[in-house]
Amino acid sequence: MSASPVPKRLKEARQAAKLTQERLGILAGIDEESASARMNQYERGKHEPDFLTLSRIAAVLEVPATYFYTEDNDVAELLILLHRLLPADRRKLAQYLKGESSSPAFQLEP
């Protein structure tokens, strides 16, 4: 088993998206002939995708690439939630967390 968090996170995100290994690989631009095998190897930790490949996988799964690299489950969940926010809302949240905004009840964009 790999010491990297990538295999675990990859499998979790793929299953949450309800995609097969083959379908995810194809959508991420991996050749149809090897998509299933490569994704299987990535999820088992036998091989780790390079950053460009992992970025394409992240785009398909609608998660940030950084999600795959965190070991902390809470941080992983927060990364996904942050990724789903509009950029303006991310800035508002960052300002609040840095203490630059005094209102804990700031309004997020709908």
Domain extent listing, the chain: 1-71, 73-109
CATH H-level superfamily of 1-71: lambda repressor-like DNA-binding domains (1.10.260.40)
Reported as a single tens digit per residue, the pLDDT across 18-59 is 999 999 999 999 999 999 999 999 999 999 999 999 999 999
Across the range 78-102, mean pLDDT stands at 87
- Residue 63's SS3 state is coil
- The long-range contacts involving 44-52, CB below 8 angstroms and separated by at least 24 positions, are 44/2, 44/7, 45/1, 45/2, 45/4, 45/6, 45/7, 46/2, 48/2, 48/4, 48/6, 48/7, 49/6
Contact 42, 32 (CB under 8 A): no
